[in-house]
Structure 1
Amino acid sequence: MKSSNRKVIISCAITGATHVPSMSEHLPLTPEQIAAQAIEAAAAGAAIIHLHARDPADGRPTPSPEIYRQFVPVIAAASDAVINITTGGSTKMSMTERLAFPMQAKPEMCSLNMGSMNFSIHDVASRISNWRYDWEEQYLAGMEDRVFRNTFKEIRQILLELGEDGTRFEFECYDVGQLYNLAYFADQGLVKPPFFIQAIFGILGGLGTDPENLTVMRTTADRLFGRENYEFSVLGAGRHQLPFVTMAAIMGGNVRVGLEDSIYLEKGVKAKTSAEQVRKIRRILEELSLEVATPDEARARLGLKGSDQVHF
């Protein structure tokens, strides 16, 4: 069993593809804003920076490699954090679009959703009365009738095409069944430990935010992989962000914060940057006598190829 006093890896997800600009004026939309927030989050203690791109004209999610290249090299030049590029994109993107930049960049790490699922925050649309851009309302409300698709064939494709160049993965698991999907690919020899499992709670369509579910995911991963073969990380969506990641750290896991997962710093107070959330969870961790891992310590534990092997 791993030592309970191992340093905690903080991941920070800067902007995502779920929240829309009308939900928070602080959500980074332009390459300059994304780069600035990522660099600040890394300086605050995030070892891993998880990135999506947005169209700077109106903030909509985009898979454009040209836009990614306006901020990813800037972050890489200003920080030694692990850069983690999404392969999820958004529920409206095709597989070809989602892989466009990762296939060019060959990053140290990419996120990988471990199955198809209903993924929605469509109820939020009814609570917004003033929209900044005309695409947002349809985008949010339309989630009720969209599925995030990642079939076994598509997951295999991502593992083979990106894994060939040494990219490793943040395996995003929204339910217990997705842990079994990961175990299937491990049995096929397509993925090897150490696995970086990101257990996700609070998204409609996935596991809810009952604390017992955290134990279920942890103990199921233990049975499937053996605790010595994986790193456990947790994100809680929305108001559940800090309670859930704190529980994860106490259980010997790692944590993820950032404006992709929650636009709030505390009840009724919006976070101005993702770095505010990083600083807050770092303070909580340190008050629990837990240390924070550096990027190079995270690289060593996750078996990453190193920042000198990417194509930014």
Structure 2
Amino acid sequence: MEQPTILTCAVTGNLTRPDQTPHLPITPAQISEACLEAADAGAAAVHIHVRNPETGAPSMDVELYGRVVESLRRHRPELIINLTTGPGGRFVPSVDEPRMAAAGTTLLPPEQRVAHIAALRPDICSLDLNTMNSGEQVVMNTPANVRRMAAVIRQHGVVPELECFDTGDLMLAQALLAEGTLQGPGLYTFVLGVRYALPFSPAALALARSLIAPQASWSAFAVGRHAFPAVAQAYLLGGNVRIGLEDTIYLDKGVLAQSNAELVHKARRIVEDLGGRLATCQQARASWGLRPSNTDL
């Protein structure tokens, strides 16, 4: 029997702005509710960023993460919690002196980027392996800094989700696995359609899949107008899927999604129309080798 497909909902993200959609969850209560609604719609896992409740700007406040995690563990202990560690790696060079950071730079010491992971011990956390152009800015995740973050993640028993934006990221992942910094076979997410990274195409997705161990688990998603086509393509190639307001704010062309749950419902319909079925939280935990639930923490 075909393995069920794990759907992750990325409920708010780091780059989606409140002025782009009035439906973006901002406060810990809104983010928690969005996660629970996504779970009701079929998501087995939720990928979480937090926001400053006053401004809506991205935040790495451990207390805000704690409020979201506590709520989810209380109301839906079986739901897989995946916290981001991505913020803190962006560099914007000064125009006149490129060695100096300009406004928009978020660079943090690696240990600060995983402080909430050490404190809260989610099931999973993202670990970005990309150093790349991002628009007119640069995202920097050097191998040395990735190793420092991975050490904290491993120390606290959390499974890293290896977010890979290009083929070089996949080569770095192989090196980190070979040296023992990461434990194999690995849990990967391929990020497609970001400017100056892997494009969204069947060929690009097939290439990414060919560069990891056959027994490794993988998901894929694409941003913007490719978000739903990527759900179909990832499923057809045997991967897991992701959707959410981090990835797209539109349910259809020109139609804003009213909620993350609405996006999950559509992604679920795509998987089921293609002959698949979504995994329950318990099935996803078993597939990814996670503890049965987070109630014992």
TM-score, with structure 2 as normaliser: 0.89
Q: Residues 238 and 58 (structure 1 numbering): CA distance in 2 closer, same or farther, change over 3 Å? A: same
Determine if the alignment matches structure 1 residue 262 to structure 2 residue 277. Answer: no
> How far apart, CA to CA, are the structure 2 residues paired with 1:174 and 1:273?
26
Q: How do 1:289-308 residues align onto structure 2 when only pairs under 5 Å count?
A: 289-308=275-294
> How far apart, CA to CA, are the structure 1 residues paired with 2:120 and 2:206?
36
Q: How do 1:1-312 residues align onto structure 2 when only pairs under 5 Å count?
A: 5-79=2-76, 80-89=78-87, 91=90, 92-94=106-108, 95-120=110-135, 144=136, 146-221=137-212, 225=213, 227-228=214-215, 230-308=216-294, 311=297
1:288 Cα deviation after fit: 1.5
Q: Which has the higher helix share?
A: 1
Q: Residues 24 and 286 (structure 1 numbering): CA distance in 2 closer, same or farther, change over 3 Å? A: same
* Deviation readout 1:50-84 (Å, 9 max, x if unpaired): 00010000100010011112222112222221000
| Unmatched 5+ stretches in structure 2 | 91-105
1:100 Cα deviation after fit: 2.2
Q: Residues 154 and 309 (structure 1 numbering): CA distance in 2 closer, same or farther, change over 3 Å? A: farther
> How far apart, CA to CA, are the structure 1 residues paired with 2:209 and 2:10?
22
Q: What is the RMSD computed on CA atoms of the aligned residues?
A: 1.6
1:179 Cα deviation after fit: 0.8
1:89 Cα deviation after fit: 2.1
1:216 Cα deviation after fit: 1.2
State whether residues 231 and 270 of structure 2, in contact with CA within 8 Å, keep that contact through their aligned partners in structure 1.
no
State whether residues 105 and 310 of structure 1, in contact with CA within 8 Å, keep that contact through their aligned partners in structure 2.
no
The 10-residue stretch of structure 1 (155-164 or 203-212) with the greater mean CA deviation from structure 2: 203-212
The 10-residue stretch of structure 1 (99-108 or 251-260) with the greater mean CA deviation from structure 2: 99-108
1:245 Cα deviation after fit: 1.7
State whether residues 87 and 113 of structure 2, in contact with CA within 8 Å, keep that contact through their aligned partners in structure 1.
yes
> How far apart, CA to CA, are the structure 2 residues paired with 1:88 and 1:310?
27
1:274 Cα deviation after fit: 1.0
Aligned length: 279
State whether residues 108 and 310 of structure 1, in contact with CA within 8 Å, keep that contact through their aligned partners in structure 2.
no
* Deviation readout 1:285-308 (Å, 9 max, x if unpaired): 112121111111111111123433
> How far apart, CA to CA, are the structure 2 residues paired with 1:162 and 1:233?
20
The 10-residue stretch of structure 1 (146-155 or 7-16) with the greater mean CA deviation from structure 2: 146-155
